[in-house]
Amino acid sequence: MPANAAAENALGTMGVVCWCIQLAPQIWKSYHEKSTKGLSPWLAFLWTISAPFLGTYCIVQKLNIPLILQPQLFGVLCSISWGQCLYYTPGTYSRKRTVLITVGLLAIMAGFEAGMVYAIRPAYEGGNMAPVRFFGIMSSVIISVALLPQYWEIYKHKEVIGISIPFMLIDLLGGVFSDLSLAFAPKFDVIAGVTYSLVVLLDGLVILAALILNPLARRRRRREQAERDAEELVGRATHSAGRATDSAQRPVDERNTDGRMMDERTTDQRAGSAAPAANQAEKRPSGERGSLSNGATRFPVVDVEKQ
């Protein structure tokens, strides 16, 4: 493909724009949900580490300005996402400590990149390509390895959660535009091309996993919810049947109880009425008790002889 400086810079700029905003959806998602569950902190950390390697390579190679800016912005955004992983993980770091760690990491990475640029530039200008190739290959390896922990998170949860799909899609587009930018350069840089192509491939696998696994996970959750609802309905039906059985047995028990109570009240009434009669009988004279006990009626006795 013939060299075209305008196309090279335009496509490189588009790649940089994508990689400048790629992590914005992820950072907003983590901030809005106050959680980074499902997002591997190793992904964000290793991508932060890869930035100075790729930055050194691009600066020493004197690639176009957008491709030189891309690793710097990429590293800053990745470090912010990594700081969110530290802060939103329960029981880890406070906000102040997280900010200090993140800023400290960025300072170390910036110092490392500046030092490496001045260290390997003389060798590169002298025709020794080994150091600069090492940095280019190292950045590719780190970027590729960084996604392995994320694949483990996907395998563990059986779906893609915690990671923003727009973030992965924009990252993929950034790799595509950067590859096309290299295609219009006077000389195609193989190592940079491999790095950007790996980004496209690995991001594409995450997006593909989301398209396949997330619908399956939603159906699985609906099925589990339906099973829980069915178990709850069975439990309610069993409870209602038990209450109905108790209600059917209660009237019989109440009738038996009422009958026993009536018998006891009758017995008590008889005993109560017999007690006063016995007391009155004890108070009468013995003659009256005898006549009354024999059931005879008493009449006055008339002395006929005296009359």
- For 68-92, the pLDDT digits (tens) are 888 888 899 899 999 999 999 877 7
158, two tokens: 């059986």
Give the pLDDT of residue 105.
93
For 26, residues 6+ apart whose C-beta sits below 8 A from its C-beta are: 39, 81, 163, 164, 167
Its pTM stands at 0.63
Please, what is the average pLDDT of the chain?
79
**Which two three-digit tokens encode residue 244?**
């109905």
Q: What is the pLDDT of residue 306?
A: 40
**Rounded Cα–Cα distance for residues 34 and 44 (Å):** 17
Taking only the tens place, the pLDDT of each residue in 26-66 is 888 888 888 888 888 898 899 899 999 989 988 998 887 87
E-only strand ranges, the chain:
none
Task: Tell me the per-residue pLDDT of 155-200, one tens digit each, with 9 for 90 and over.
Answer: 888 888 878 888 888 888 888 888 888 888 888 878 778 878 888 8
Angle at CA 99, nearest 5°, toward 31 and 74? 70
> Looking at residues 244-254, what average pLDDT do you find?
59
Q: C-alpha angle 16/20/23, rounded to 5°?
A: 135
What's the CA gap between 200 and 183, in Å, rounded? Answer: 15
Phi and psi at 189, nearest 5°, equal -85, 110
Q: Tell me the mean pLDDT in the region 211-234.
A: 86
Distance (Å, rounded) from C-alpha 41 to C-alpha 105?
Answer: 14
CA angle 76, 77, 81 (to 5 degrees): 120
Residue 299 has pLDDT above 50, yes or no: no
Tell me, what's the pLDDT at 109? 93
CB 51 within 8 A of CB 72: yes
Q: How confident is the model at residue 212, as a pLDDT?
A: 92
C-alpha to C-alpha distance for 101 and 83, rounded to whole angstroms: 8
End-to-end CA distance of the chain: 172
189 vs 97, residue with greater confidence = 97
Share of the chain above pLDDT 90, in %: 15
pLDDT digits (tens, 9 = 90+) for 257-289: 555 555 555 555 555 555 555 555 455 554 444
Whole-number pLDDT of residue 292: 42
